[in-house]
Amino acid sequence: MTYPTPRAAVLTGIGSWLPPDELTNADLEARLDTTDEWIRSRTGIASRRRVSPGMSTSDLAVEAGGRALKSSGQDSVDAVVLATTTPDELCPATAPQVATRLGLPMVPAFDVSAVCAGFLYGLSVAAGLIATGAADRVLLIGAEAFTTLIDPDDRSTAAIFGDGAGAVVLRAGNPDEPGALGPVVLGSDGSRSDLAEVPAGGARRRVPTPEASPYLQMQGREIFRHAVRHMTAACRTATEAAGWQLADVDRLVAHQANIRIITSVADGLGIPPERRASNIERVGNTAGASVPVLLAEENASGGLVAGQRVLLTAFGGGLAWGAATLVWPSLASAQ
């Protein structure tokens, strides 16, 4: 039995926003047993942004979402999907509040929770909404106030994570037009959920105890190994599914977890340094916001130009990962 090709999700708007409060390596040096040299050489990070008191994920999402709508040239969509690990409240989802604040009341709006792979999972969800005809236009936002999950005294995580938001608008279109999302490859491995977890605050352990921290506990070295393996494999599968050779890839836009992870993945795929996009030095690891923030910044700076073949990939807690391809379209950059 064959079915007609579903309509594609086509990228038509993009935007990002970082909170103004900056946390430099020098700030961390002043407070923790760490050095600028250690952080730069082990992670590639020099600085990151963080929410200031009173600011939360929805505030970041509204800023980025508004810019993506403006870039798309239209102010309405049929659905809002928010990829986040840090909803404003445990209940309800944050997306409906974001939709309302963006002047999009009454549209379907919900959160997707896949930590650093959240934007890739969100792309798949948005593409599904469009393919089935449930929506003609979807606003997908990756927004994280991830530093709210970080113990400021834990040098192994405080040096890595930052906050921010990136957003895209996807519209119904043809699979062969620029901006059309290729097959999205996703995966997960719940047997290693312990490698990056926030033990307290959820349904199993509502209240923190000496044994159950309310902060992210991460086994960095183990995560590193899995990240390289799964992102490399997902990239191979996604390019193959799109009918591309790896040599066809003009820009690799990988989750900005650690410069050494990005280097290992790109080296393994044979993608040379000049084709690797990166903002980790300035932005740090912003979890589910990482890929859309990088896409928006590259689009604005001319690092991404129309016609380039772009490979996206992400990996993080869950474990969860993903990869996808698209030919970059011509997109306005909204400030």
Question: Residue 326, interface with ligand UT7 (CB under 6 A)?
Answer: no
The span of 81-89, 156-164, 237-245, 321-329 binding ligand UT7 (CB under 6 A) equals: 156-164
Contact 326, 304 (CB under 8 A): no
Buried/exposed 188-200: b ≥16 CB within 10 Å, e otherwise: beeebeebbbbbb
Single residue of 116, 140, 172, 300 touching ligand UT7 by CB under 6 A: 116
- Residue, CB closest to ligand UT7: 220
Question: Residue 38, interface with ligand UT7 (CB under 6 A)?
Answer: yes
Please report, as residue ranges, which positions from 170 to 229 form the binding site for ligand UT7 (by CB under 6 A): 196, 218, 220-221, 223-224, 227
Angstrom distance (rounded) from CA 283 to CA 150: 16
Contact 318, 115 (CB under 8 A): yes
Single residue of 34, 47, 113, 263 touching ligand UT7 by CB under 6 A: 34
Angstrom distance (rounded) from CA 335 to CA 333: 7
Question: Residue 23, interface with ligand UT7 (CB under 6 A)?
Answer: no
Rounded to 5 degrees, what angle do the CA atoms 186, 120, 90 make?
Answer: 105
Catalytic-labelled residue, pool 25, 230, 255, 279: 255
Q: Is 285 a catalytic residue?
A: yes
Interface with ligand UT7 (CB under 6 A), residue total: 22
Angstrom distance (rounded) from CA 261 to CA 314: 11
CB of 228 to ligand UT7, least distance (A): 9
Catalytic-labelled residue, pool 25, 279, 285, 299: 285
Angstrom distance (rounded) from CA 40 to CA 38: 6
Single residue of 11, 23, 39, 135 touching ligand UT7 by CB under 6 A: 39
Single residue of 65, 87, 118, 316 touching ligand UT7 by CB under 6 A: 316
What is the β-pairing status of strands 79-83 and 137-144?
parallel
Q: Is 235 a catalytic residue?
A: no
Question: Residue 25, interface with ligand UT7 (CB under 6 A)?
Answer: no
Single residue of 258, 278, 279, 325 touching ligand UT7 by CB under 6 A: 258
Q: Which of 151, 318, 127, 160 is nearest to 226 (CA)?
A: 318
Catalytic-labelled residue, pool 116, 235, 258, 279: 116
Q: Which of 294, 318, 321 is nearest to 234 (CA)?
A: 321
Q: Is 279 a catalytic residue?
A: no
Integer CA distances (angstroms), 239 to 49, 178, 244, 304, 324, in order? 33, 16, 5, 18, 8
Instruction: Cite the active site residues.
Output: 116, 255, 285
Residues that bind ligand UT7 (CB under 6 A): 34, 38-39, 42-43, 116, 155-156, 159-160, 196, 218, 220-221, 223-224, 227, 257-258, 261, 285, 316
